Chains A and B, each alone.
Chain A
Amino acid sequence: MFRKICAAAAASLTLAVLTAAPQAAARPVSYPGGWTVMVMNDDAMSSSLVHYSPSADWSIGWRENWARDADWVFTGAQINRLVRRWNNPGSQANFYIKGALGGVGSEARPLDDLDLGGMVEIAADWETRRWFLSADAVYWDAGDFGDSTQYRARVGVAPYVAEFGGIHTWLMLQATHRPDADDELVLTPLARFFYGTHLWEVGVTDRGEGLFNWIIRF
Chain B
Amino acid sequence: MNFIRTALFSAALAFSAAPAFADHHEADAEHEAHDMSHGDEHEHDAAHAHEHDADIEEAAAIVAEDGAIAVVAPGTLQVQVNGLVCDFCAQALNRVLTRRAEIAEINVDLDARIVTIDMEDDGEIDDETLTGLINDAGYDVVAIHRPEV
Chain A residues contacting B140 (CB-CB under 8 Å) are 87
Give every chain B residue within 8 A of A92 (Cβ-Cβ).
83-86, 89
* Chain B interface residue count, Cβ-Cβ cutoff 8 angstroms: 43
> Which chain A residues numbered 112 to 132 have a C-beta less than 8 Å away from chain B?
116-120, 122, 127-129
Proximity string of chain A (149-184) to chain B, C-beta cutoff 8 Å, 1 when within and 0 when not: 000000000000111111010000000000000000
Whether A165 lies near B82 (C-beta < 8 A) is no
The answer to whether B129 has its CB under 8 Å from any CB of chain A is no
What residues on A are CB-neighbors of B82 within 8 Å? 87-89
- A162 touches which of B11, B20, B87 (Cβ 8 Å): B87
CB <8 Å contact, B88 and A32? no
- On whether the beta carbons of B83 and A55 are closer than 8 Å, the reply is no
Instruction: Write out the residue numbers on chain B whose beta carbons fall within 8 Å of the beta carbon of A91.
Output: 83, 85
Residue contact A197 to B88, C-beta cutoff 8 Å:
yes
Complex CA–CA separation, A162 to B67 (angstroms): 18
Determine if B14 is an interface residue (Cβ-Cβ < 8 Å).
Answer: yes
Closest-CB distance, A148 to chain B (whole angstroms): 11
The contact of B88 among A57, A86, A119, A199, by CB within 8 Å, is A199
User: Chain B 78-108, CB within 8 Å of chain A: the 1/0 string?
Assistant: 0001111111111110011000000000011
In the complex, which residues of chain A have a beta carbon less than 8 angstroms from the beta carbon of B92?
28-31, 34, 217
Interface residues in A1-51 (C-beta closer than 8 Å to B): 26-32, 34
- A-B complex: 5 closest residue pairs judged by Cβ atoms: A87-B83, A141-B3, A164-B108, A92-B83, A81-B14
